[in-house]
Amino acid sequence: MRLSPHFSHHEKGGGMKGCIFCKIVDKEIVSKIVYEDDDLIAFHDINPLAPVHILLVSKKHIENILGMTDEDAKLAAGLLFAANEIAKKFNIDKSGFRLIINCNSDGGQEVFHLHAHLIGGAPLGKMC
Ligand code: 5GP
Ligand code: ZN
């Protein structure tokens, strides 16, 4: 279910009610964490689409990239740098990977808390 943006807030790890990724950020729900910094947490996707499938999730609850503001510039850049670091950690930097951010309905977004998918470890084929 998608909660109204009216109820969203922007505290780091504040735990927006009913948001599964806020619960993972707050460690109320266990995940296999592979990276963490002030703005982000990254963990294995529960339903991996490839040998490496990591989710990079903002600590702050933002619905998706449409909800980003100038305040989030450091977070946005940090997400790209963290993806680099994690790709190296999982040894998929040279073989290659895909970094995907789904947005809203046509984008196939299911969890309305900003995240990117880092996917690799096998040839991924064409987009879509
Ligand atoms: P979206 O479709 O919103 O871009 O991606 C949401 C992703 O979150 C999906 O790939 C799904 O498998 C993953 N996911 C949903 N719930 C959980 C969970 O509780 N734990 C983990 N690790 N991944 C989850
Ligand atoms: Zn959230």
Domain boundaries, the chain: 20-120
Buried b (16+ CB within 10 A) or exposed e, 50-67: bebbbbbbbbbbbbbbeb
Q: Residue 118's pLDDT is what?
A: 98
Residue that is written with structure tokens 């190296």 in the block: 88
The whole-chain average pLDDT of the chain stands at 92
Query: 64: Cβ below 6 Å to ligand 1?
Result: no
Compute the average pLDDT of residues 12-20.
Answer: 79
Query: 112: Cβ below 6 Å to ligand 1?
Result: no
Compute the average pLDDT of residues 55-66.
Answer: 98
The residue type at 69: T
Query: 125: Cβ below 6 Å to ligand 1?
Result: no
> Catalytic residue numbers?
115
- 4 vs 67 pLDDT, higher one: 67
Choosing from 34, 55, 101 the residue with most ligand 1 atoms within 8 A of its CB, the one to mutate for a pocket test is 55
Which CATH code, of 3.40.50.1820, 3.30.428.10, 3.90.550.10, 3.40.50.920, is assigned to 20-120? 3.30.428.10
